[in-house]
Amino acid sequence: MQFKKIFYTSLSIFLFSALSIAETIDKTEFNETQAIIESQLKAFINKDAEGAFFHASPYIKMRFNNPQDFMSMVENYYEPVYNPKNYYFMESKFFEGSIYHQLQIISQDNVSYLAMYSLVKDNGEWKISGCSIYPMNQQSI
């Protein structure tokens, strides 16, 4: 009887420890992926095509011949991301091996946009696999 009690107590402690480690890893990865998005946004602001392209996933890199083509596409179709006035991280989720971050982006014209970034792991490193932006139909202060 005493053995069972010790066994179940040890098992419970082990499981709770494993869960807390997993939660810490998730928080660390959320922070890491948030920093990657911020680094890419700063590269866009600084007109650093190489720096922005560096954070793109292999699939994104295959779709564009070089960093300049990628930068041109972002400038033409994702202006709020290319030249944000400000941005705020809202929610983050982990789903089926990918991390998703939701941001509010304020354009230079003070229009709010909702941006949804997705990131995937490639050779152990998180890379940006996509970004969708939607107007929030409101002016920002």
Q: Where are the domains of the chain?
A: 2-139
- Answer whether residue 14 shows pLDDT above 70: no
- CATH topology for 2-139 is Nuclear Transport Factor 2; Chain: A, (3.10.450)
**Burial class for 65, CB neighbours closer than 10 Å (0-12, 13-18, 19+):** exposed
Which tens digit of pLDDT belongs to each residue from 65-79? 899 999 999 999 999
Place of tokens 């002016």: 139
Weakest mean pLDDT among 1-10, 93-102, 103-112: 1-10
- Indicate the residue type of 101: H
Which is higher by pLDDT, 95 or 6? 95
Weakest mean pLDDT among 52-56, 71-75, 113-117, 136-140: 136-140
Give the pairing type, strands 111-122 and 98-106.
Answer: antiparallel
Q: Is the dihedral of CA 34, 38, 43, 44 positive or negative?
A: positive
d(CA 55, CA 74) in angstroms, rounded, equals: 14
On whether the CB atoms of residues 103 and 115 are closer than 8 A, the answer is: yes
> Does the pTM of the predicted model rise above 0.85?
no
